[in-house]
Amino acid sequence: MTIMMAGMFYLYVGGAVAVVFLVFGLGRIDENARGAWIFRPLLIPGVLLVWPLVIWRWVVLMRGEEKLDRHRMPRIRQERAQLVFVIVIPLILLVSFALRQDPASLSAPVLLEAPE
C-alpha cells in the first residue's frame, strides 16, 4: 500500500511538472520547440517518469550553465556498464541452470476432491 501511494504521489508531482514545463517552460529553453505544440503531448510520459531530471536540466538551461562536456560521451561509464553486463548475464544463467529442478524428480500431481 505504501509503495502504491508513493508511486501515485510521484506521478502526481510529475503531472504538475509536465503541465508547467510543457506549457510555459519548453519554449524558453529550446528554440526548436517554439510554436511546435503537436509533439508536446508525446513528452508527457517522459516527464511523468523522470521529472526530477527534467527540473534539474530546466534550471541548468535557464541559468545558461551548459558546459563543453555536452560533447563528451560518457564512454568510461558505458564501458563499465558493459563490463558489469557481460559478467552478470552469464552469472544469472549459471545460477538458474544450477538450481533448475528435474521435473522427473518431483512427485506426481494429485487431483484433490472438491469439498462437500
Distance CA 84, CA 8 (A): 32
Minimum distance from CB of 116 to other proteins (Å)? 22
Asked whether position 32 contacts other proteins by CB under 8 A, the answer is yes
Contact residue for other proteins among 23, 30, 52, 59 (CB under 8 A): 30
Distance CA 66, CA 110 (A): 67
Contact residue for other proteins among 20, 53, 59, 62 (CB under 8 A): 53
Contact residue for other proteins among 75, 108, 111, 116 (CB under 8 A): 75
The letter for the amino acid at 52 is P
Asked whether position 50 contacts other proteins by CB under 8 A, the answer is yes
Q: Are 17 and 47 in contact (CB under 8 A)?
A: yes
Asked whether position 16 contacts other proteins by CB under 8 A, the answer is no
Phi, psi for residue 47 in degrees, rounded to 5: -65, -40
Asked whether position 20 contacts other proteins by CB under 8 A, the answer is no
Q: Grid coordinates in use for 99? A: 538450481
Contact residue for other proteins among 63, 85, 105, 111 (CB under 8 A): 85
Q: Determine how many CB atoms are found less than 10 A away from the CB of residue 81.
A: 11
